[in-house]
Amino acid sequence: MTPDLQPPARPAASLTLPLRLPYPELSRLGTAWAAGQTFTLPLPTAPSLRVTKLQFSAAGPRLNVTLSVQSSGLLGLKATFDLSGRPVLDVAGQVLTLEDIAVSTHREGLSGRLIGLLADARVTAYLTRLARVDLGPRLAALQAQAQARLPFSALERTEVTGTVTHLAVTGLEVTPDALVLIAAAGGALQVTLKDGRLLPR
């Protein structure tokens, strides 16, 4: 009986892709979400705070976030806060937040009463939640770009083919002008030689 001969499986390939997020872009993404998050101040007229601008910048291995807020109603409060924290991603690798956050208030133009009000733990908790960016849409775009590049010649005489089904963020780095994510592309990817032979394992 002649045994069935199966063609050898093509060796699996992996692609590592950088995603560079300049701070102006990161700020736009963060502002778009934060602007919809309001907080009701503990005052009789119940004025609410909302974000008008959120700006990211680098501070060594940490990120700084400058938040500009204003209140509704007759209070007419406008204030600016600085947040500093270490950037982390959620378990799914989709949402950027900060941990070990320090918060400070720009005191210019604020009365002592307002400064005390803004130092309330509830206000601080609200502000720290605003340092958040959903990176899902940018990662989806990067995945589509990776797929569009296939087949891809990684080295001379080699070719990567297949389908990119997902990206997994494996690291991030704070640089002076951008946050850089490193993403590993996963899926059914194979490597072949340009002459059609399989790349040896």
What is the arithmetic mean of pLDDT over 55-78? 89
Q: How many residues does the chain have?
A: 201
Q: Enumerate the β-bridge partners of residue 190.
A: 12, 161
151: preceding bond cis by omega (within 30 degrees): yes
Q: What is the pLDDT of residue 5?
A: 43
Q: What is the pLDDT of residue 170?
A: 87
Q: How far is it, in rounded angstroms, from Cα 29 to Cα 136?
A: 11
Judge whether 100 and 86 are in contact, CB under 8 Å.
Answer: yes
What is the arithmetic mean of pLDDT over 127-145? 90
Q: How far is it, in rounded angstroms, from Cα 94 to Cα 103?
A: 24
Judge whether 85 and 59 are in contact, CB under 8 Å.
Answer: no
Question: Is the pLDDT score of 16 beyond 60?
Answer: yes
* Mean model confidence pLDDT for the chain: 83
Q: How far is it, in rounded angstroms, from Cα 57 to Cα 177?
A: 8
Place of tokens 């705070």: 49
Question: Is the pLDDT score of 178 beyond 50?
Answer: yes
What is the arithmetic mean of pLDDT over 45-63? 92
pTM over 0.85: no
